[in-house]
Structure 1
C-alpha cells in the first residue's frame, strides 16, 4: 500500500486551522481563568507576591483567589494554603512569585494539581546567563509535556478587563478602562509605563499580556487568540525580538485582513540579553516583514497610541482625500502641509475663523463630511479667549455622529479621547465613535496616513501562493540528497552542479564552459557561438567587473586568446569561464540566505558596487506570492531604472517576477539549501537571463527544541 505524505495545500490548511484553534483555546485559559492561586503570596507589602495578590483583589476578580503561603493561615484577609496541592478546588491559573531556585517544587505541585497555566513573575532565569537559561529550559519542557501554558519568566503579568472576569494579574496597580484593544509586550518595566499611558489617553484595553522572557507564550500565540476574540478589534505589539518570524508572517497576514495590527520593534540597544536571539537584524528586514504581513509599523510608543486611538474609535478611510476644518489659519495650513507630505490629498483648509460659534463650526464639519470627494476630516480647534468649550464639543459630536468617515481633531491640543468628545457605552467608558484628539496637526496626520496605507493594503485582493509551472522538484531533491551524502557539513556546489539544480526549476544559466588554456577557450567559443564573454572565476574577481575580471563581446578566436591570456595573468588562475553573450540589460541581484531570526530570506536589488555600498536591497520572507514578488522587484530605490527611467526601454518585469518566484520555490522546497546567489541577472525587454549563480547546501540550522505542546 502506497500513499503520498508530502504536504499539500489541504493538509497545510487543516494543520493551520487546528493550530489556530488549539493555541487560541490555551491562551484563553490564561486570560479567562475561573480561579487563581498566588504562590508566594506574602504578608510583606514590599514583596512581589503581596503586590500581585493586592492587585487581583482590588481588580474585583470574579473567581476565587487562593494565596499560597506555608507560614501564614491568611494573607490580606484571605485564607492561605501551604501548597497548591492543598487547595480543595480546581485552579486554572497559578502565579509564581518565588525565587528561581524554588520554582521546581512549585512546578511539581502545579503539574500534580492539574493547573492549566502558570505565570512566573519572578526573575533569575534566562536573563541571568547559562545557568538561568538551563533552569528556564527545564521549566518549559515540563510545562509543555503536561499541557500547561507558561507566561514568563520575568513577566509583568496578564490582565482581562472584561467585567465577567476582572482579572488584574499584573504588578501594575491600575489598569486602563475596558475597551477593544489587545496589547502584547515583552518588557515588564515598560509594560507599566504602557498601561499608564493607555489610561492617560483613555484608550480602553480588552486584554494585556507582558510575557517577559517569552519562554513559551509569545506574540504569535496572542495573535491566534485575538483573531477569534470578539472583544478585541485592534492589536498592539511591542516587540524586542522575534520567536518564530515565519509563523508570525503567516498568522499576521490572516489576522490583519480583519483586525489592524500596530507594532513597535525596539532598537538593538534596548534588547536585554534574555531576548537577544533574533534581535541583531537589519531594520529594513523588519520593515519588509511587517509590510509583507500588513502590519502597521511605528517607531515610538507615542505613535503607537496615536494610531491606536484612531483605529479603535473611528472607521478606516476609503481614500486619501482629506479636508481640514478649523478656526486657526496657522494650524490649518500646518495640517494641510503635513498631509501632503505624508502622501494624502489635501486642499486648502476650511477656516471658519476665531469668531465662529458652535453652530457655524459644526456646519463646516458636516459639510466636509457630506462631500463626495472627501474621505476623512481633521478638525483643528483652538478655543477663543473666555469662551465655553462644551458647546463646541457638543456641536462637533452631533456633527460627526454616525459618520462612516474618520474624524480626527486637535481639540484643545489634548491627547487621546477628551471627555467632551467621548461617546460612552453601558459602563460609562469611551467606545467606538469617540473623536480622538492629538497635541499637534502633524501627529493627527501621521496616524491618518497610517490608517490609509493599511486600508489600501486590506482592500487588495488576497494573492494565493501559485507555484510556477515546469518544476521538477523530485529530481532537485534527489540531486541535493546525492551531493549531501558525500559530505555532512555541506559545501558550495560547482558551477555545473548549480546550473543543473537551477534547471530543475526552469532557471537556465546562460550556457558556459570551463577552460584551462587558450586552445580550450577557443574550442569552447566555437562550440557556443560568437560573440562570447571570458570570465575570471576567483572569489576576488567574481561579480566584480570593476576589477576587470570579465571581457565581453569577444567576436573571434584571436580576441578570445588575448582575453584568456590577460585574465589568466591578472587573476593568477588558469581556470576561466567562456560564456555565450547574453542579451544586454540591467544587472540585477537575487539572493536567498539564512537569517538567524527569519529563516530563509529572499532579497532583490540592482547589481553594482554603488547598490552594495548604499544597501539598496529589498527583502521578503519565503514563500512569495506573485504580488509579493512584484512588490519585491519594485521596492529598491533604484527600481525605476527597470521601468524605463529617462525614456530608457522598460525591462520585462513579468520575466523577473517569474524568475524570483522560481528561486523562492526552490529555496522553499529544498530544506538543505543554505544560500543562493544569482548575480548578475540581466533584465531586458526580451526577458531575464542568469549569467552567474552559486548555491550552498548544508544541514538546516537547529534551534533548541523544547518538545511538542500537548495543548488542552
Structure 2
C-alpha cells in the first residue's frame, strides 16, 4: 500500500453558484450527519432513486457502511456547506478487483443543481486514480435523469447498458483525457465568475471602519466610492458615529437597511477576523480587506470565516479595487486619482505598482476596465481575474504584477486560453534573486526562479517585461497597432542619420531583423525622397524631407510584403519648413489601419510614451527613446509568433513501465523515508523504465567486483578502453572531485585506478561504476527539477565541463507539448551544432526529443522525483547516449493542478 493511500484528503471548492463547500473524507464522527442527509434532507423520491426502493432502514444502513469500521477498498467523500453535509459520493472495489469501483451518490434536495454532485465525483475520480482505480461503475434507475446528465456532462467517456429499467454506467478514469480537463476548466470558470460577481459588480457596498478622521483610509475610500458615482447603495459602518463624509453611519453590519454584496474592511488588524465573521453571518458575499499586518492566527481566522460563509476575499493589505463599467462605477481604492475608464484589466500585488500603472494608462488614454490590488493574496488571484476578464465583455488587454503564484499550472492553463483572445502582459519581478548556489546537479543549478517563471510565461503566451516602464511601452503598441508578421522584419525610417542608427542598433539588441530592402522598393523610395536620401535600412530621408515625402515613404514601406513593422524616428530641424511635428501630422492623416504596426520616436517628446490620435481613427504609439520602441516591437513580434503556433498538444507519451518505476520509488522511500540519491544501479533501472538512453554500466562495490565487471564488458564485445567512476551518496560533481578515470585498458590499470580511489576516498566511497568509453560527440545535459510551487521543470542544454561556463540552456514546465520539444532544441545558442547548420553533420535531434519526452513523462508520473540529471549525453548522427546520471527522490504526494480547489495561503494553514 502506498503512503498516498493513507493521506487525508480535503479541499475547499466553489460550487456552480459561487458558494464555498468543503470536500473531505467521511469518518465515524459523521455518522449522524450522513444519516440526516439521507433520511431528512432527501425526499422519498430522491431516496427511491438512490436506494432503488423506499426502505426506512436504508439511510441508517448507508450511514453504518460509510462511517462504520474501515472497509478495504471503500472511499467516501462528503460535501459540507457552512458546517452542514449537503452531499456524499462513495466508491468501493467490485468483486475484490482493485481497478474497478462501484460509485454511489446522494445530494440533499435543496442543494441539487448547484454542482455538488459533479464536484464530489471530480474529487472522487482524483483520489480513486491515486489508489489505482481505473474504472468507476454505477447502477442507476432509467428515470434518474439528473444522475445521467451528470455523467454526460462530466467530460469522461461514459458507457451505458440498459436492462430491466436499470442503467449500468461505466466510466474509465485511467486516461489523461484533455476533454475532461476542458470540462473541468469550464465548470471552474463558471463557478469563479459567479463567486466574483459580488466583488466586481456589487449592487451595494458597506465600508466597515470608515472614520470621521480626515486622511484615514476608510474615510478616503468611502468618499471615493461616492464621488466616483457608484450606482448602488453605499453604507458606512462605525459604532461611534452617525454620519461620515456625508453618509449615514450604522453601528454594525447587522444594523444596515440591507445586506451588502461587498464589505470593505478598514479596521485594525486585531478587529479584522471579528468583522469578517460578522459580515459572513449577515450574508455578505465578498470582502475587500485594506488592513495590513495580520498575525498568523488573525489571518487564519479571516480565511476560515470567508470559506465558512462563502465570501470571496481580496487582500489583506490591498490598495483596493475599481470597476469602471458605467453600470457600476465603483472606485473602492485609496490611490490619489480616479482610474480612467477603459479596456485594460489590471491586477497587482503591490499597491505602489498599481498606482503607477493606473497613472501611466491614463497618460495613454487606455484606462482600466477593472483594477484589483491583490495585496497579500489570501484568496482572489491572478488566475481568478483572467477568468473574469475573459468573459466580462469589456477587457481587451490584461496587465499583471504578480510576486507569487498559488497554482502556476492552473494559471498557465487559463492564460494559454486567454492569451489567444487578447494580450496578457506581466512584469517579471524578482529576477535579481540569487541562483541556487551549491546545487547538487547542473540541472538544479539551471532551475533558478527566473528560469522557472520564464518557462511559465513562454508556454502560456504571456508577454513578460522587465519593468513597469517596459510593460506600459509594450501595452501602448499592442493596444493601438496590428501585430507584425512572426518573422519580425523591421524597417527604420528617420529624418536624421544619427537617431536612425541608434534605432537600428536598438532593434538589433531586441532581436529584431533589419533586412536589406529589395531593389524595387529602394528605387521607389528614392523616387519620393530628396536627393541624398539613403534608401537602405535604416532609411535616412535627410532633414530636407518634407512631411509629404515622409508620408509617401511610409506608405510605400507599409504596403510592401517584405516589411513587417515600421519604426519612424523624427528629430526637429529647421529645414523643410519644418519640422518633425508636421511629419507626425502627416502620419496621423495616413491610413488609420495599416497592414503593419507603426511606432514613432520623437526625440523631443517629454513623456516616455503616449498615444497620438489619427485623423481617420486609431492611435499611433509615440516614444521618447528608440530602445523603448524596439522592445515593444520585439514583444509584438513574439506574440505574433506565439499566436501563429498551433494550439499546444501534449507530447506523444513514450512507452514506459510506470508500475515498475513507482514500485522502485516506493521501495527506496520505504528504506529511506527522508529521501536521497539513488545508487547507480537503481538510477539505471529507473531510467530504463522510461527508455532513457544510458550506456552499458556495471555497479561494483569492491575490487573483485570491479575486475569481474571489466571482464564481463570484454566478453560482451566492449574490448576497448574503460571509464571508472568512484561513487558515494552525497557526491556533487565527479570530475571536480577527481572521481573519474578514463581510457583505462587492462586489469592492471583498472585495479590501480580503483585502489587509487579507495586510498583517496576511503570509507566514504560506496563503490565504482564501470562503463565502456563512449565515442565522441556533442555533450548535452538534460534533466528535471521538481519545484515545490511550479511543478517539474525540464531542462536541456550544453553539457559536460561546458555546462556551467557557457550557460546555454532551455527550460519548460512539464508536461511538455510537441511544440516544446521542438523549441527547446531550436532556441539553444548551440542549436546549429545539433542541426548541422554550423557545418558539421546533423546530429540525432529526434533522439533528443524522445529523451525530453521521456523525462517529462517520468516527472509527471513520479512526484517524488526531486532531481534527475543526465550529464553528459553524447549526441551523434547515429543516436544519443547518456554516460552519467544522478537521481534524487523525496517523499512527496501528487498534486493535480487541474483539480478544482481554492488555495489556502501557507500563513493561514493549520499545522
User: Structure 1's 358 and 491: CA in aligned 2 closer, same or farther, altered over 3 A?
Assistant: closer
Query: Quick check: 1:99–1:124 contact (8 Å CA) kept in 2?
Result: no
Q: Deviations over 1:503-558 (max 9, x none)?
A: 22122532322334444333222323323332211368775335543333444444
Q: Give the alignment partner of residue 90 of structure 1, picking from 256, 259, 267.
A: 259
Query: Quick check: 1:682–1:691 contact (8 Å CA) kept in 2?
Result: yes
Q: Deviations over 1:463-493 (max 9, x none)?
A: 3113433212223223323333344323333
Equivalent residues in 2 for 1:400-419 (5 A)? 400-411=591-602, 413-415=605-607
Query: Quick check: 1:414–1:438 contact (8 Å CA) kept in 2?
Result: no
User: Structure 1's 583 and 470: CA in aligned 2 closer, same or farther, altered over 3 A?
Assistant: farther
User: Structure 1's 533 and 410: CA in aligned 2 closer, same or farther, altered over 3 A?
Assistant: closer
SS in 2 for 1:225: helix
Partner of residue 81, structure 1: 250
Partner of residue 267, structure 1: 430
User: Structure 1's 508 and 363: CA in aligned 2 closer, same or farther, altered over 3 A?
Assistant: closer
Equivalent residues in 2 for 1:283-432 (5 A)? 283-318=450-485, 319-346=487-514, 347-354=536-543, 356-384=545-573, 394-411=585-602, 413-415=605-607, 421=613
Shift of 1:165: 1.4
Correspondence 1:154 to 2:317 = yes
Partner of residue 819, structure 2: 627
Q: Give the alignment partner of residue 270 of structure 2, picking from 101, 105, 115.
A: 101
Of 685-694 and 665-674, the range deviating more from structure 2: 685-694
User: Structure 1's 492 and 322: CA in aligned 2 closer, same or farther, altered over 3 A?
Assistant: closer
Q: Distance in 1 between matches of 2:877 and 2:347?
A: 48
Of 322-331 and 253-262, the range deviating more from structure 2: 322-331
Q: Give the alignment partner of residue 627 of structure 2, picking from 416, 435, 442.
A: 442
Query: Quick check: 2:654–2:853 contact (8 Å CA) kept in 1?
Result: no
Instruction: List structure 1 runs of 4+ shifted beyond 6 angstroms.
Output: 268-271, 386-391
SS in 1 for 2:622: coil
Shift of 1:124: 1.7
Q: Distance in 2 between matches of 1:223 and 1:682?
A: 43
Partner of residue 659, structure 1: 851
Query: Quick check: 1:408–1:437 contact (8 Å CA) kept in 2?
Result: yes
Q: Distance in 2 between matches of 1:710 and 1:491?
A: 29
Shift of 1:387: 6.2
Q: Distance in 2 between matches of 1:685 and 1:406?
A: 43
Partner of residue 30, structure 1: 199
Of 488-497 and 165-174, the range deviating more from structure 2: 488-497
Partner of residue 565, structure 1: 755
SS in 2 for 1:579: strand
SS in 2 for 1:345: coil
Normalising by structure 2, we get a TM-score of 0.70
Shift of 1:702: 10
Correspondence 1:64 to 2:233 = yes
Correspondence 1:213 to 2:380 = no
Gaps of 5+ in 1: 126-131, 272-279, 425-431
Q: Deviations over 1:577-624 (max 9, x none)?
A: 222444433333222223344232222233334422555443322211
User: Structure 1's 577 and 81: CA in aligned 2 closer, same or farther, altered over 3 A?
Assistant: same
Q: Deviations over 1:174-218 (max 9, x none)?
A: 234222211111111332232222223333221111111111112
Query: Quick check: 1:538–1:571 contact (8 Å CA) kept in 2?
Result: no
Q: Distance in 2 between matches of 1:340 and 1:585?
A: 33
Shift of 1:340: 3.4
Partner of residue 301, structure 2: 138
User: Structure 1's 351 and 73: CA in aligned 2 closer, same or farther, altered over 3 A?
Assistant: same
Of 258-267 and 91-100, the range deviating more from structure 2: 258-267
Q: Distance in 2 between matches of 1:506 and 1:181?
A: 48
User: Structure 1's 148 and 563: CA in aligned 2 closer, same or farther, altered over 3 A?
Assistant: same
Of 589-598 and 91-100, the range deviating more from structure 2: 589-598
Count, aligned residues: 688
SS in 1 for 2:318: coil
User: Structure 1's 339 and 616: CA in aligned 2 closer, same or farther, altered over 3 A?
Assistant: closer
Q: Give the alignment partner of residue 860 of structure 2, picking from 653, 665, 668.
A: 668
Correspondence 1:461 to 2:646 = yes
Say which one has the larger Rg. 2
Correspondence 1:115 to 2:300 = no
Partner of residue 185, structure 1: 348
SS in 1 for 2:346: strand
Q: Distance in 1 between matches of 2:433 and 2:199?
A: 28
* Higher RCO, Cα 8 Å, sep 6+: 1
SS in 2 for 1:413: coil
Shift of 1:327: 3.5
Query: Quick check: 1:468–1:658 contact (8 Å CA) kept in 2?
Result: no
Q: Distance in 2 between matches of 1:15 and 1:99?
A: 39
Query: Quick check: 1:543–1:680 contact (8 Å CA) kept in 2?
Result: no
Shift of 1:456: 1.2
SS in 1 for 2:619: coil
User: Structure 1's 502 and 305: CA in aligned 2 closer, same or farther, altered over 3 A?
Assistant: same
Of 326-335 and 492-501, the range deviating more from structure 2: 326-335
Shift of 1:455: 0.9
Q: Distance in 1 between matches of 2:222 and 2:248?
A: 12
Query: Quick check: 1:390–1:420 contact (8 Å CA) kept in 2?
Result: no
Normalising by structure 1, we get a TM-score of 0.88
Query: Quick check: 1:499–1:508 contact (8 Å CA) kept in 2?
Result: no
User: Structure 1's 541 and 585: CA in aligned 2 closer, same or farther, altered over 3 A?
Assistant: farther
RMSD: 3.1
Q: Distance in 1 between matches of 2:884 and 2:803?
A: 18
Q: Distance in 1 between matches of 2:561 and 2:431?
A: 46
Correspondence 1:255 to 2:413 = no
SS in 2 for 1:216: coil
Q: Distance in 1 between matches of 2:425 and 2:662?
A: 40
Q: Distance in 2 between matches of 1:601 and 1:334?
A: 38
Of 349-358 and 580-589, the range deviating more from structure 2: 349-358
Partner of residue 111, structure 2: none
Query: Quick check: 2:693–2:880 contact (8 Å CA) kept in 1?
Result: no
Of 565-574 and 504-513, the range deviating more from structure 2: 565-574
